Homo-oligomer: A and B are copies of this chain.
Amino acid sequence: MSAQIPDIVKHRVSDKAKRTLDIVAKFVEEECIPADPVLGAQIGEGDARWDRHPPIVDELKAKAKALGLWNMFFPKGHYKESPGYSNLEYGLMAEWLGKSIVASEATNCAAPDTGNMEVLAKYGNEAQKAQWLKPLMDGEIRSAFLMTEPDVASSDATNIQLNMRREGDEWVLNGTVSVLSIRELNIKSLTRGQKWWSSGAGDPRCKIYVVMGKSDPNHKDPYKQQSVILVPANTKGITIHRMLSVYGYDDAPHGHGHISFNNVRVPASNMVLGEGRGFEIIQGRLGPGRIHHAMRSIGVAERALEWMLMRINDPKKTPFGKQLREHGVILEWVAKSRVEIDAARLIVLNAAVRMDDLGPKASLREIAQAKVLVPQTVLTVIDRAVQAFGAAGVSQDTPLASMWAQIRTLRFADGPDEVHLQQMGRNENKRGAEVTKKILAQKQKTEQLLKQKNVKLYQPGANIKAKL
């Protein structure tokens, strides 16, 4: 809550945002976290998990709206749709949202809708906004973002294969399952370009897909071959084959869809921004989204730490006559978790501040830092909490195991750590020539000074006599 804002940013948070932050915190802790297991219970088991919408979500959405907690992710100054918070301010709120499964959706701040709404707000035309942005902003429908493909290394977006072919006033999309999948899934086709990890596609209220495909595979600029187009979920030719699981979790009803396109036809007017501008759109989409993920993850870490604190003070758990907190190594885990979480949070907030001041494009380095640092930190904290709990930590009796599974995916979602580290390394290395020049100039100046002062650097053994 607002009293816990790191000192370094305290003065940049408006009084309004501080008030909202306190409301968010209270809403999450008192309404959302207790509702998370209810959500699970309402979804039920088996195939039913995919055709129900748990009523508790709508109840919470009504409450959130009444509290003024809605669409806070739209940064002020960047979107007219914004309720008026900076990226920094929303970042602080997102941390609390991340502590609960349902909170982000309850406040209409859930991925992938947030990114999709930003795409529509930023790049959509008026018709597209009226048809899709409006109901998304009102929380009436949900959306999915279809980019990743199983058949290629889609961490490199130029590899995307889903075929988009213009026919008159329509685009025809084809992306069907691959040879390998055929064997496994008994589906007949050889064309590539199927999509998977289409998160949210499982939800019965998911009405619109934002789809990235290849509209001009032969364009000489590999970054102009792609387009982004809007595809209603009920368009003929779309098949949802299955949902991917994450460790043992299916994440229903949201889910991570495996979807193919067989001559799927959409009006040409569904193209976003323009043919060949897909790369530009996904670049713009990912920046703030990564910050949102990162901030929510910080909240996950805080909650894991809270559970660990509960465990190590549990009077029933006294191995070898001492409570867990009295075993030396445990408090060190607590302390390290505290400092690592705090450092990771500052990295995210620094990126948020930079986005507020200079926009996402000028903040790529800072965003990438958050993208890489946060999930690893949070996984470490969760795993310590699991270890403190022992077997309960991996079971359904704590939220830790599902937290771990969820956060683990962030180390490759929107690009694996290694791709980002390579890019960050290359960027940092651009200073190579400049620092080399500086260091050589410093060495030269040292030589001049040594000469001028008539002293020599001591070199051990410099007076060893020739062994003649």
Is A417 in contact with B387, judged by CB distance below 8 angstroms?
A: yes
CB of A66 within 8 Å of the partner chain: no
Mark A423-467 against chain B: 1 for CB-CB distance below 8 A, else 0: 111101101110110110011111101100101111111111111
**Inter-subunit contact B443/A184 (CB<8 Å):** yes
- Complex A-B: 14 CB contacts under 8 Å: A8-B346, A50-B460, A153-B317, A153-B324, A206-B467, A243-B462, A246-B395, A248-B250, A256-B395, A328-B330, A331-B425, A339-B369, A387-B411, A390-B416
With A339-B372, A391-B148, A461-B257: A310-B248 Cβ-Cβ less than 8 Å = no
Does A190 interact with chain B (Cβ within 8 Å)? Answer: no
A24 close to chain B: CB less than 8 A: no
Of A74-82, A165-173, A271-279, A396-404, the one with at least 4 CB within 8 A of chain B: A396-404
Contact of A431 among B309, B443, B467 (CB under 8 A): B309
Q: Give chain B nearest CB distance to A238 CB in angstroms.
A: 7
Which B residues are in CB contact (< 8 Å) with A55?
453
Residues of B within 8 A of A331 (CB): 421-422, 425-426, 429
Q: Report how far A42 CA is from B458 CA in the complex, Å.
A: 10
A34 contacts B446, C-beta separation under 8 Å = yes
B316, B327, B349: which contacts A328 (Cβ < 8 A)? Answer: B327
Closest 6 pairs between A and B when the two form their complex, measured CB to CB: A328-B328, A248-B248, A331-B425, A243-B461, A242-B459, A34-B445
- A350 in the interface, Cβ–Cβ < 8 Å? yes
Q: Is residue A58 contacting chain B, with contact meaning CB distance below 8 A?
A: no
A335 and B461 contact, CB distance less than 8 A: no
Answer whether residue A37 sits at the interface, using C-beta atoms and an 8 A cutoff.
yes
Contact mask A16-57 → B, CB, 8 Å, 1/0? 000000000000011001111110111011110111000110
Contact among B41, B347, B402, B428 for A453, CB-based, below 8 A? B41
Least CB distance, A335 to chain B, in whole angstroms: 4
- Docked complex: A190-219 residues within 8 A CB-CB of B: 196-197, 202, 204, 206
User: A461 to B56, Cβ gap below 8 A?
Assistant: no
Could you give, for residues 306-347 of chain A, a 1 whenever the CB lies within 8 Å of some chain B CB and a 0 otherwise? 110110111011111000110111111111101100111011
Is there an interface contact between B327 and A418, defined as CB atoms closer than 8 Å?
Answer: yes
- Asked if A405 is at the interface of the complex by the 8 Å CB criterion, the answer is yes
**Residue among B155, B314, B336 making CB contact with A421, cutoff 8 Å:** B336
B contact residues around A445 at 8 Å (CB): 30, 34
Q: How far is the CA of A151 from the CA of B391 in the complex (A)?
A: 12
When the two chains form their complex, are residues A184 and B421 in contact, meaning their CB atoms are under 8 A apart?
no
Given contacts A46-B46, A313-B433, 12 further A-B pairs with CB under 8 A are A33-B442, A34-B445, A38-B449, A50-B464, A156-B320, A196-B391, A238-B466, A325-B432, A330-B425, A339-B369, A343-B344, A390-B412
Given contacts A46-B45, A387-B412, A447-B183, contact A150 B460 (CB under 8 A): no
A326 to chain B, nearest CB (A): 8
Question: Is A310 touching B8 in the complex (CB atoms < 8 A)?
Answer: no
Complex CA gap A109/B333 in Å reads 35
Interface residue? A419 (CB, 8 A): yes
Chain B nearest Cβ from A86, distance in angstroms:
12
Q: Check A7 against B353 for contact (C-beta < 8 Å).
A: yes
User: A152: CB under 8 A from chain B?
Assistant: yes
Give bound CA distance, A7 to B29, whole Å: 31
Contact with B along A285-319 (1 / 0, CB 8 A): 00000000000000000000111011011101111
List the B side residues contacting A428 at CB < 8 Å: 305, 309, 334-335, 338
Alpha-carbon separation in the docked complex, A404 to B366 (Å) = 28
**Is A392's beta carbon under 8 Å from chain B?**
yes
**Contact A306 to B446, CB < 8 A, known contacts A8-B8, A41-B455:** no
Chain B residues positioned under 8 Å from A47 (CB to CB): 463
Is A11 an interface position by the 8 A CB rule?
yes
Instruction: Choose from B249, B394, B433, B459 the contact partner of A185 (Cβ within 8 Å).
Output: B459
The yes or no answer to A189 lying at the interface (CB within 8 A) is no
